[in-house]
Structure 1
Amino acid sequence: MTCITFAAGQARLPDWRAIRDGAPLTLAPGWRDDVAAGLATLEKALASGAALYGVNTGFGKLASTRIAEGDLAKLQLNLLRSHAAGTGANLPRPVVRLILALKAASLARGASGARPEIVETLLALLEADMLPDVPAQGSVGASGDLAPLAHLSLVLVGEGSATDAQHVTHGGATALAAIGRAPLVLGPKEGLALLNGTQVSTAIALDALYRAGDLLRAALLTGAMSVDAARGSDTPFDPRIHALRGQPGQIRVAEALRQLLAGSAIRDSHREGDIRVQDPYCLRCQPQVMGACLDLIEQAGGTLEREANAVTDNPLLVAGGELLSGGNFHAEPVAFAADTLALALAEIGAIAERRIALLTDPVLSGLPAFLVQAGGLNSGFMIAQVTAAALAAENRAMATPRSVDSLPTSANQEDHVSMATNAALRLTPMAENVEGILAIEYLAAAQGIGFHRPLTSSAAIEAAHARLRGVVAPWDEDRLMAPDIAAARALLRDVEVPLA
Structure 2
Amino acid sequence: MCLPNKVTIDHDDLRIEELVAVARYHAQLELADEVKARIVHGRSLVERFVFEERVVYGITTGVGDNARVKISTADSKELQKNLIMSHACGVGEPLAQEQVRAIIMMMIQSLSQGYSGVRLETVEALVSLLNHEITPLVPKEGSLGYLSHQAHISLVLLGMGEAICDGRQMSGREALHSCGLEPIELFEKEGLSLINGTVDMTALGALAVYDAINLLKTADIVSMISFEALKGTYRAYDPRIARVKRHPGIQKTIENIQQLIKGSEIAERFKDYRTQDALSIRSIPQIHGASKDVVAFVREVIEREINSASDNPLVFDEHGGVAISSANCHGESVAMAMDMLAMAITEISNVSERRIFRLVSPQYSGHPAFLVDKSGVHSGYMIPQYTAAALVSDNKVLSHPASVDSIPTTAGQEDHVSMGTSAALKAVKVIGNTENVLGIEWMCSSQALEFMQPLKPGVGTAAAYHLFRQHVPPLEQDRVLSPDIRQAADLIRSGKLVGLIEEEIGELQV
TM interval, short-chain normalised:
over 0.9
Q: State how far apart, in whole Å, the 2-side matches of 1:52 and 1:487 are.
A: 55
Which SS does the other structure have where 2:8 is aligned? strand
1:9·1:106 contact (CA, 8 Å) conserved in 2? no
Which SS does the other structure have where 1:205 is aligned? helix
Which residue of 138, 143, 148 maps to 1:139?
143
1:9·1:105 contact (CA, 8 Å) conserved in 2? no
- Deviations along 1:236-278, whole A, 9 cap, x unmatched? 1111100111211110011101110111011122235x2x210
- Deviations along 1:319-363, whole A, 9 cap, x unmatched? 402111001110111101110110111001000000001111222
Which residue pairs with 2:497 in the alignment? Answer: 495
Q: Is 1:285–2:286 an aligned residue pair?
A: no
Which SS does the other structure have where 2:335 is aligned? helix
Which residue pairs with 1:2 in the alignment? Answer: 5
Which SS does the other structure have where 2:152 is aligned? helix
Which residue pairs with 2:479 in the alignment? Answer: 479
- Deviations along 1:282-321, whole A, 9 cap, x unmatched? 1110110001111111111111111111111111101402
Q: State how far apart, in whole Å, the 2-side matches of 1:98 and 1:491 are.
A: 23
Q: State how far apart, in whole Å, the 1-side matches of 2:204 and 2:140 are.
A: 10
* Matches for 1:36-435 after TM superposition, within 5 Å: 36-141=40-145, 145-164=146-165, 166-272=166-272, 274=273, 276-320=274-318, 321-435=321-435
Structure 1 residue 8: Cα displacement: 5.5
Which residue pairs with 2:22 in the alignment? Answer: 19
Q: State how far apart, in whole Å, the 1-side matches of 2:336 and 2:118 are.
A: 29
Q: CA RMSD in A?
A: 1.4
Which SS does the other structure have where 1:339 is aligned? helix
When normalised by structure 2's length, the TM-score is: 0.94
| Identity value in percent | 39
Task: Give the counterpart letter for 2:426 in structure 1.
Answer: R
Task: Give the counterpart letter for 1:201 in structure 2.
Answer: M
How many residue pairs match? The answer is 494
Q: State how far apart, in whole Å, the 2-side matches of 1:156 and 1:8 are.
A: 26
Which SS does the other structure have where 1:170 is aligned? strand
- Deviations along 1:351-401, whole A, 9 cap, x unmatched? 000000111122222222211222222221111111111111110111110
Q: State how far apart, in whole Å, the 1-side matches of 2:63 and 2:490 are.
A: 47
Structure 1 residue 181: Cα displacement: 2.2
115-124 or 466-475, which deviates more = 466-475
40-49 or 204-213, which deviates more = 40-49
2:402·2:423 contact (CA, 8 Å) conserved in 1? yes
Q: State how far apart, in whole Å, the 2-side matches of 1:311 and 1:180 are.
A: 31
Task: Give the counterpart letter for 1:16 in structure 2.
Answer: L
1:102·1:309 contact (CA, 8 Å) conserved in 2? no
Which structure 2 residue ranges, 5 or more long, are not aligned? none
Q: State how far apart, in whole Å, the 2-side matches of 1:67 and 1:268 are.
A: 77
Which SS does the other structure have where 2:43 is aligned? helix
Q: State how far apart, in whole Å, the 1-side matches of 2:454 and 2:12 are.
A: 56
- Deviations along 1:386-444, whole A, 9 cap, x unmatched? 11111111101111100001111111110000000111112222122111111111111
Which SS does the other structure have where 1:373 is aligned? coil
Q: State how far apart, in whole Å, the 1-side matches of 2:17 and 2:281 are.
A: 32
2:45·2:317 contact (CA, 8 Å) conserved in 1? no
1:8·1:109 contact (CA, 8 Å) conserved in 2? no
170-179 or 324-333, which deviates more = 170-179
Task: Give the counterpart letter for 1:370 in structure 2.
Answer: F
Q: State how far apart, in whole Å, the 2-side matches of 1:103 and 1:353 are.
A: 39
283-292 or 466-475, which deviates more = 466-475
Q: State how far apart, in whole Å, the 1-side matches of 2:358 and 2:485 are.
A: 19
Which SS does the other structure have where 1:446 is aligned? helix
Q: State how far apart, in whole Å, the 2-side matches of 1:427 and 1:97 are.
A: 18
Which SS does the other structure have where 1:278 is aligned? coil
Task: Give the counterpart letter for 2:333 in structure 1.
Answer: P
1:370·1:381 contact (CA, 8 Å) conserved in 2? yes
Structure 1 residue 9: Cα displacement: 6.4
- Deviations along 1:34-75, whole A, 9 cap, x unmatched? 122212221222222221111111111111111122111111
Task: Give the counterpart letter for 2:85 in structure 1.
Answer: R
Change (3 A) 1:481 1:295: same
Structure 1 residue 491: Cα displacement: 2.2
Which SS does the other structure have where 1:434 is aligned? helix
Q: State how far apart, in whole Å, the 2-side matches of 1:319 and 1:263 are.
A: 63
Which SS does the other structure have where 2:410 is aligned? coil
Q: State how far apart, in whole Å, the 1-side matches of 2:108 and 2:12 are.
A: 11
1:2·1:23 contact (CA, 8 Å) conserved in 2? yes
